[in-house]
């Protein structure tokens, strides 16, 4: 998710601090770029949930995933994996299965979030990975339906509205099934992609008082736990 901070306006630190003080559950997302996380300290800082990078494309397994996942679990933080999508590399089904095999699974244990698929600007090539909007929508459906068939849950979709408009034609196909994790570094989430009337998670800053990107859940702690139990 490192490419987004190059394309979206940064949230001033003072404003980020104010946003972090909201009553809604706060979270972070991390990868091998944050190789050493003191999860007990993160928990004591008030963090309730974490998304942890598990896989990228069809070959990359994040080397910090296991330590992050076990550390968050031990600290009592609700956690889940995320997959950085590479739609030009293979089918959505192939990447969903790779994700599921390497940390992206889900169980109704009350501490595991459904897996998230990271749909954003290509960090090393054409913005939309060389796919037309129709082909991109088909790719996301392939990933989403494969994940749902294996877990009974639709994956969370992480994206930002600019990319979604450009690369899916602002498709409204996922709003009724997939929770939205919107990325926008500002004081409010702003305009959402078509199909979603509200966001479930919001990545509001790429830095803050805790490691990694800073996130918020759109609800209360009971609602966050319901997502982790599938109810």
Catalytic site residues?
29, 120
Pick the closest to residue 83 from 96, 72, 93, 73 (CA basis): 96
Backbone phi and psi for residue 217, each to the nearest 5 degrees, phi listed first: -95, 135
Tell which phi-psi region holds residue 182, choosing left (phi > 0), alpha (psi between -120 and 50) or beta.
Answer: beta
Asked if 148 contacts 176 with a C-beta cutoff of 8 angstroms, the reply is: no
The two three-digit tokens of residue 218, written as one number: 């759109």
Q: Where are the alpha helices (DSSP H) in the chain?
A: 13-20, 39-44, 65-75, 92-101, 133-151, 161-168, 221-229
Residues 6+ apart with CB under 8 A from 128: 122, 136, 166, 167
Residue labelled with tokens 């940390």: 103
Q: And the tokens for 12?
A: 């001033």
């Amino acid at each position: 998710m490192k490419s987004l901070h190059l394309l979206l306006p940064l949230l001033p630190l003072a404003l980020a601090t104010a946003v972090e003080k909201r009553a809604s559950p706060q979270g972070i997302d991390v990868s091998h770029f944050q190789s050493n996380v003191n999860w007990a300290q993160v928990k004591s800082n008030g963090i309730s949930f974490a998304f942890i990078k598990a896989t990228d494309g069809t070959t990359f397994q994040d080397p910090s995933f296991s330590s992050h996942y076990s550390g968050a679990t031990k600290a009592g933080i609700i956690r889940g994996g995320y997959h950085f999508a590479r739609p030009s590399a293979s089918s959505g089904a192939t990447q969903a299965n790779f994700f599921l095999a390497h940390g992206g699974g889900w169980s109704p244990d009350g501490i595991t979030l459904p897996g998230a698929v990271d749909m954003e600007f290509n960090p090393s090539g054409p913005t939309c990975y060389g796919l037309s909007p129709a082909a991109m929508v088909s790719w996301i459906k392939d990933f989403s339906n494969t994940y749902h068939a294996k877990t009974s849950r639709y994956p969370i979709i992480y994206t930002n509205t600019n990319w979604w408009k450009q690369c899916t034609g602002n498709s409204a196909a996922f709003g009724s099934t997939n929770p939205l994790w919107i990325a926008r570094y500002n004081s409010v989430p702003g305009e959402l992609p078509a199909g979603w009337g509200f966001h479930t998670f919001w990545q509001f800053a790429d830095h803050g008082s805790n490691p990694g990107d800073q996130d918020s859940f759109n609800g209360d702690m009971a609602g966050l736990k319901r997502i982790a139990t599938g109810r």
